Structure 1
Amino acid sequence: MTKENYSLVGDIGGTNARFALVRSGEITPEAIEVLPCRDYDNLDSAIRDYLQRSRVAEVQEVCLAVASPVSGTQVRMTNNHWRFDSEEVRRQFGWGAFKVINDFTAMALGVPHVAADKLIHVCGGPGNTSQPRLVIGPGTGLGVSGLVPLRNGWVPLMTEGGHVDFAPTDEIEMAVLRILKARFGRVSVERILCGQGLLNLYQAHAEIQDVAAPLDAPEKITAAALDHSDVLARHSLQHFCEILGRVAGNAVLTLGGNGGVYLCGGMLPRFIDFFLDSPFQKGFEDKGRMRSLLEATPVYVVTEDYTGLLGAAEALINPEVRG
C-alpha cells in the first residue's frame, strides 16, 4: 500500500474512532478498524497507530467525520477529550488535503452508497428519485440532514433540525410538553427523540399516570419494552416511535424530501421488530391533505454499520463538500 493508491477516512464519535483506507477515487472502505478514543491522548496518536496497524507509511488525502460542530480549523470533540487544529494536523502529517465534516453530514453522504440488503423498508413508496432525500436518526442526539440531487451527485444539507420545537398533537402530549418545559424551558424534539429523550418521555408519562418510573436508562426502558416486563416502558417506546414518525413526516414536507427517508444511527436497529410494528407509520402519514404524498414516500431503516465511513469517502471526491 502506498500513499499514491490510498486515502484515509474516519468516523470519530464520543467513544470510538472508526478508520479505513479507500483507493483513490473509490468509495469502498478497506482495512476498517475501530479504536477506543480513551486509549489515545489525541487524534494524531490514533492515526499513527492505525496507519502502523494497516502497514501504510503515509496517505495524501484524508477526510474525517466528527461528532462535533465544525467551524474553522479548531475541533473540540463533544463527548471525548480530543482537541485538534485540522491545519496543524495536516501539516504534521504532510497531507495534501484534509477535510473535516460533521458526522451526520457524513451519514447523509453515505446513504446513497449503502447496499440494498442493508436497508429495511418500513413503509411507503415508490417515491421520486429526482427529489431530495431526508436523513434522520435518533442516537445521542437527533441528527437531521438532507441530500439534494445534482445531475451527477448529491449536495448534503447541514442542519440543526433536531432542535425544532416539539409540537404536541393531543392532551397527553400537551401534558408531556408542560412537564418537560418545567425541566428544560424550551422543548425541542431532541428532548424526546434521542437516548436521553426516551428516558425523558418515560418519566413524563410516569408523572402523567402518577405511577413509579423505576428505570433510569434508555437501554433499560428498551429492554423492558421488548420483554413486556414494564407496561410504562412499552407505552413510552411506542409513543417515541409515533413522534419520530410525525417529525420525519414534517421534515419531508419542509424539505420536499419524497425521494425517500433514511433512518440512521444505532438506536432503531436494536429494536427493529418492535419499530416495524409501532405507530411510526401512523405518525408519518397523518398529514391531512398531504397524506398521499407521505404514503408515496419510501422510508427505510439503515442497518449499515459504516455509513459514516462511506460518507467520508464520498466527501473526498465530492466537490460540493468543503471541509
Structure 2
Amino acid sequence: MLLLAGDVGGTSARFQWLAVGERQTERSAVHSYRSADFASFSDLLAQLLRDCSIERVDVACFGLPGPVNDAEVTLTNLPWHIRVCLLKARLPLATVTLINDFQAAALGIDELAADALICLHEGRFDPAGNRLVVGAGTGLGVAPVYQRGGRFYPQSSEGGHMAFAPLDEEQERLLHWLHERWRHVSYEDLLSGSGLETLYLYHLRRMGRSEAPVLRAAEVHAAAERGEAAAVAALTSFVNIYGQFVGDAALLWPARAGIYIAGGIGGRIARWMRGSAFTEYFLAKDRMREVVEQMPVYLVTDELIGLKGALLQARRSAGLVERP
C-alpha cells in the first residue's frame, strides 16, 4: 500500500510518501517544489509521480491553503481550483482527502519532537482544554482544535481574514495608510510574507525614505538583524501585531491546552518572537487579560508540521492508525 501526503503553500509544496508492506515500511525523503512553477495542482502531482516513479497511490491526503468544500477547494494564494474527481480521472489516485492546511498543521502537533517547541508564554496548561493553531507564512492560517475524551479534532477556518484592529496611535496611522490602498484590511494583509513587506514599505515612507528599494520578506528580516532602522521597525510592528492577533483569536477560541504558532515565518524570526513585546501585545486585552493569561503559547520551529499532519490523516484513512 502506498500513501502520499502533501502540504501545499502559496510559495512551496512539500510531499512525502509511505510504502507499507507486510514486513516493512519505507518512508521517502521530503520532495519540495515551487508552487508557482505549475499551472495546476494536477500538473504538480503529475511531476511528483514521475520524479518518484510512482505508478499508483492508494491513499492520499493534501493540506491546502483555502476553504475546503467537501471534495474541492479554490486556493487563496494560488490560481488553482482543485476537484478530487478530476484529480482521480487524470492521475492514478485511488482515495484522496483534501483538508485545510492548518487542519493539517493541527494534526501534526502530536507528531512533533519536544525540541520543536519554544514556550513564549507559560500560562497554566490544562490537559483537558482545547488547542488553537495559528501561523503566518504566505498567508495567515487559523485552526481551532476542540478536545473530547482526550482526542483532538481540528476544525478549518479562515480566521486570518478577520479585520485588523489598531491597538495604539502608531497602528491607527498604519491603518489609515492602508485604507488609502484597500477598503478591507485583514490581519493576513500584515501577518504574512507580503505583510512584512507592506510594513517595511510603510516605515520607509514614515521615515521619508521614498527612494529606498522595497525588500522581500527574507531581506527585511536580514536587514533587521543588521540593525537597519526601517526593517527593525517593520519586524517590531509585525511581532506586536502577531501578539495581539493571537490574543484576539484566543478570546474567540480559548485554548488552555496550548496555542501553537506554526507557519513559515515565526520559527525564522524566533529571536524576535521571544522578546517581551509579543507577550505584552498578546496580553493587552484590558478586562479580558486574565482570560488569555491562562493560555500557554508555543512557537513551532518544525516547518514540516503540516506535512506530518497530512501523513497522519492519510494513515488514518488507510486504517493504519485509529481514528479519533
* TM-score, scaled relative to structure 2: 0.84
CA offset at residue 58 of structure 1?
2.2
- Quick check: 1:246 aligned with 2:256? no
CA offset at residue 191 of structure 1?
1.8
Q: Indicate if the aligned counterparts of 2:134 and 2:262 stay in contact, CA closer than 8 A.
A: yes
CA offset at residue 64 of structure 1?
1.2
DSSP 3-state at the match of 1:184: coil
Instruction: Quickly say closer, same or farther: Cα 1:71–1:235, change in 2 above 3 A.
Output: same
Instruction: Quickly say closer, same or farther: Cα 1:245–1:28, change in 2 above 3 A.
Output: farther
CA offset at residue 81 of structure 1?
6.0
Q: 2:322 matched to which residue of 1?
A: none
Q: 2:14 matched to which residue of 1?
A: 18
1:80-95 matches, cutoff 5 A? 80=78, 84-93=82-91, 95=93
CA offset at residue 67 of structure 1?
2.8
DSSP 3-state at the match of 1:251: helix
- Quick check: 1:113 aligned with 2:119? no
Q: 1:185 matched to which residue of 2?
A: 183
CA offset at residue 245 of structure 1?
0.5
Single out whichever of 288-297 and 265-274 deviates more from structure 2: 288-297
Paired AA for residue 218 in structure 2:
E
CA offset at residue 249 of structure 1?
0.9
Query: Aligned-residue CA RMSD in angstroms?
Result: 2.9
1:296-311 matches, cutoff 5 A? 296-311=294-309
- Using the alignment, how far apart are the partners of 2:168 and 2:26 within structure 1? 46
Instruction: Quickly say closer, same or farther: Cα 1:171–1:220, change in 2 above 3 A.
Output: same
- Quick check: 1:224 aligned with 2:223? yes
CA offset at residue 238 of structure 1?
1.0
1:1-323 matches, cutoff 5 A? 3=1, 6-22=2-18, 30-37=28-35, 42-44=40-42, 46-51=44-49, 53-54=51-52, 56-80=54-78, 84-93=82-91, 95-212=93-210, 214-217=212-215, 218-228=217-227, 230-277=228-275, 279-316=277-314, 317=316
Q: CA offsets, 1:285-308, max 9 Å, x none?
A: 222333334333221111112111
CA offset at residue 262 of structure 1?
0.9
CA offset at residue 70 of structure 1?
2.5
DSSP 3-state at the match of 1:238: helix
Q: Indicate if the aligned counterparts of 2:71 and 2:97 stay in contact, CA closer than 8 A.
A: no
- Using the alignment, how far apart are the partners of 1:11 and 1:289 within structure 2? 39
DSSP 3-state at the match of 1:22: strand
Q: Indicate if the aligned counterparts of 2:68 and 2:98 stay in contact, CA closer than 8 A.
A: yes
Instruction: Quickly say closer, same or farther: Cα 1:29–1:102, change in 2 above 3 A.
Output: farther
Q: Indicate if the aligned counterparts of 1:75 and 1:86 stay in contact, CA closer than 8 A.
A: no
CA offset at residue 93 of structure 1?
4.6
Instruction: Quickly say closer, same or farther: Cα 1:224–1:36, change in 2 above 3 A.
Output: closer
Q: Indicate if the aligned counterparts of 1:226 and 1:274 stay in contact, CA closer than 8 A.
A: no
Unmatched 5+ stretches in structure 2: 320-324
Instruction: Quickly say closer, same or farther: Cα 1:166–1:93, change in 2 above 3 A.
Output: closer
Q: Indicate if the aligned counterparts of 1:124 and 1:294 stay in contact, CA closer than 8 A.
A: no
Q: Indicate if the aligned counterparts of 1:133 and 1:261 stay in contact, CA closer than 8 A.
A: yes
Q: CA offsets, 1:197-243, max 9 Å, x none?
A: 12222333344454547241222222111111x21221221121011
* TM-score, scaled relative to structure 1: 0.84
CA offset at residue 115 of structure 1?
1.5
- Using the alignment, how far apart are the partners of 1:152 and 1:302 within structure 2? 22
Single out whichever of 34-43 and 263-272 deviates more from structure 2: 34-43
DSSP 3-state at the match of 1:143: strand
- Using the alignment, how far apart are the partners of 1:110 and 1:72 within structure 2? 21
DSSP 3-state at the match of 2:108: helix
CA offset at residue 99 of structure 1?
0.5
CA offset at residue 43 of structure 1?
4.1
